[in-house]
Amino acid sequence: MHTILKSVTKEITIGIDHPFVMIGEKINPTGRKKLAAALAEGNLDYILQLALDQAAWGADVLDVNVGVPGIDEVSVVKKVVELIASATDLPLCLDSANTDVLAAGLAAAKGKPLVNSVSGETKKLETVLPLVKDRGAAVIGLTMDDNGIPRTPEERVAVAEKILEHAVRKGIPAEDVVIDPLVLTVGSDSKAALVTLLTIELLRKSLGVNINVGASNVSFGLPERPTVNAAFLTLCIQAGATCAITDSAKLGQTVRAADLLLGRDANSMRYLKYFRLAEKLREAEATEAG
Ligand code: THG
């Protein structure tokens, strides 16, 4: 199963027989005061910098969330989408809980974007899926419904099946539905990561769909988060995840190493190329920092 995303000039394929796809997580103001302020003030330079940095560090797709209380998200999302398209050639992942904001982002985006996200909640299925269908976009389906986030892998897969069924019934091809098994922090529930990993395995076996993880969620509240995130992301990739919303600067090397170890990198080409790129970028950062 291949999910294809597009910008004007670039095509990204998500699939188990392709290199793991990184969706850059940084254009999301949740917990980021500087970005929230930039969005509120219309300071596009900072947002542009986040887009360029993530692209430089190997992000394949950029997540765009402009959710700041009190701002006109509909007009801001349009500006941000156009800005990113003018500066990078990456497809976008449009992230909002608000349908009007998603619609505005979808209208402004060129190519074939990914919508983040729909869930199994009846109201979401009815409002988000028609937008996805009309725009010919792809969509991330979160395994939660009107009763919340199920505790067991079997129940999460049942929600995934429901989302897939609704999407296909509305005319969205199954390959354009990427399922997200949801990641909760292991800091407050020692079995949280395990439930996600078992859900990934079950999704892969029973539905064969593409699978996204928001891997950084796993480490909320813990020290030395990048280590926990890297270990978890590696386990997710082995279990069958095919893309992640993540920090490409921190996790890029781990992702390339996992692809290498899983036989998706002939002659270690991508791993070595990334190593040289990271070396250059770190040197440049050190020079800048004086
Ligand atoms: N699934 C889907 N979408 C998602 C998530 C998911 N979107 C949001 C989130 N989860 C993924 N994105 C982030 C973005 C940032 C962080 C974690 C997940 C994060 N930020 C640091 C913090 O808040 O402490 C700030 C780090 C920094 O400043 O750079 O951890 O699961 N479909």
Q: For residue 127, give the CATH number of its domain.
A: 3.20.20.20
The whole-number pLDDT of residue 169 equals: 98
Nearest ligand 1 atom, CA 32: 28
Q: How many CB atoms lie within 10 A of CB 99?
A: 15
| Percentage of residues of the chain with pLDDT beyond 70 | 100
| 200, pLDDT greater than 90 | yes
Using pLDDT thresholds of 50, 70 and 90, give the confidence band for residue 288. Answer: confident
Question: Ligand 1: which of 22, 32, 200, 229 to mutate, most ligand atoms within 8 Å of CB?
Answer: 32
Protein residue with least CA distance to atom 32, ligand 1: 116
Report whether 211 contacts 198 (CB < 8 A): no
> For the residues 79-100, what does the mean pLDDT come to?
97
* 66: enclosing H helix or E strand: none
Using pLDDT thresholds of 50, 70 and 90, give the confidence band for residue 290. Answer: confident
| 257, pLDDT greater than 90 | yes
The whole-number pLDDT of residue 289 equals: 85
How many A from CA of 90 to the centre of ligand 1? 19
Cα-based distances in Å from 39 to 34, 90, 193: 9, 21, 33
The whole-number pLDDT of residue 94 equals: 98
| Percentage of residues of the chain with pLDDT beyond 90 | 96
Cα-based distances in Å from 235 to 111, 193, 240, 265: 32, 10, 9, 18
> For the residues 17-42, what does the mean pLDDT come to?
96
Q: Which of 133, 153, 163 is nearest to 193 (CA)?
A: 153
User: How far apart, in whole angstroms, are the C-alpha atoms of residue 139 and residue 17?
Assistant: 20
- Phi and psi angles of residue 139, each rounded to the nearest 5 degrees, phi first: -145, 145
Nearest ligand 1 atom, CA 245: 11
Range of the domain at 212: 3-289
How many A from CA of 220 to the centre of ligand 1? 9
Number of domains in the chain: 1
How many A from CA of 71 to the centre of ligand 1? 20
Burial of 184 (0-12, 13-18, 19+ CB in 10 A): middle
The whole-number pLDDT of residue 252 equals: 97
Protein residue with least CA distance to atom 9, ligand 1: 214
| 187, pLDDT greater than 90 | no
